[in-house]
Amino acid sequence: MAEMDAADLLKAANPLLIREPDLVPAARYYDQGFYDLEVEKLWPHVWQMACRLEQIPNVGDWVEYSNFGKSVIVVRARDGVKAYHNHCRHRGVPIAGGKGNEHGNCAKSGFICPFHGWRWNMDGENTFVYGKHLFRQELLDKGELALRPVRVETWGGCAFINHDDGAPSLRESLGPALGALEARG
């Protein structure tokens, strides 16, 4: 079998390659295979604008951000903006919203699982386990019960999330565009 050159490798990795900057292949907008590649290779690794900061002005304010079946809670905590996977650590059901683009304030009640009533505060710490006496102590480890964080960074009045802990920072990802954007602001 002959070796593939760089152009062939690129075409194999991206079957709908843009060859002309002014002409985007129309199939990119409807091709299921291309969509599947984006869901697998792109969206889990890029920064996504989850909300404007004015949507969460007060401590405890939260919004749900959902994209490609992954729901994230972005919350204004006492020490800044945080983000968590939106699911109960016990049964996996959404603990906030669940219908997409919902919002609220968790300062008094925290996040409550509708299934068994388990609770978490805005810092992601589990504060209540219903029927705690029914679980072995090793199953109640605080670290295991805490909400799973999602990377969050703020810039330009927005909160951005990234599911990839190894991805470059938001500012690194914006690269040279950052200077141009800041000059316009």
Query: 151 has which bridge partners?
Result: 162
Share the mean pLDDT of the chain. Answer: 89
- Confidence (pLDDT) at 20: 87
Instruction: State residue 148's pLDDT score.
Output: 97
Q: Is the pLDDT of residue 2 over 60?
A: no
Residue range 147-171: mean pLDDT, rounded: 97
What does DSSP say about strands 151-155 and 158-162: parallel, antiparallel, or unpaired?
A: antiparallel
| pLDDT at residue number 108 | 93
Contacts of 65 (CB under 8 A, 6+ apart): 48, 50, 51, 71, 72, 73, 74, 101, 161
Token pair 């670290």: residue: 143
**What pLDDT score does 181 carry?**
77
Q: Is the pLDDT of residue 183 over 90?
A: no
Taking the C-alpha atoms of residue 4 and residue 124, their distance in angstroms, rounded to an integer, is 48
Instruction: Tell me the per-residue pLDDT of 3-17, one tens digit each, with 9 for 90 and over.
Output: 656 556 556 667 788
Determine the distance from the C-alpha atom of residue 164 to the mean position of all C-alpha atoms in its chain, rounded to a whole number.
Answer: 9
Indicate the CATH number for domain 48-162: 2.102.10.10
Ranges for all domains in the chain classified under CATH 2.102.10.10: 48-162
pLDDT band at 19 (very low <50, low <70, confident <90, very high): confident
pLDDT at 1: 45
- Residue 9 pLDDT: 56
pLDDT at 166 exceeding the cut of 90: yes
Could you give the percent of the chain with pLDDT greater than 90? 64
Q: What is the tens place of the pLDDT at every residue in 80-135?
A: 999 999 999 988 999 998 666 689 999 999 999 999 999 999 999 999 999 999 98
Q: Residue 7: what pLDDT?
A: 58
Render pLDDT for 32-46 as a digit per residue (tens, 0 to 9). 988 888 888 889 999
> The whole model's pTM is what?
0.85
Q: Does the pLDDT at position 24 exceed 60?
A: yes
Residue type, 76: R
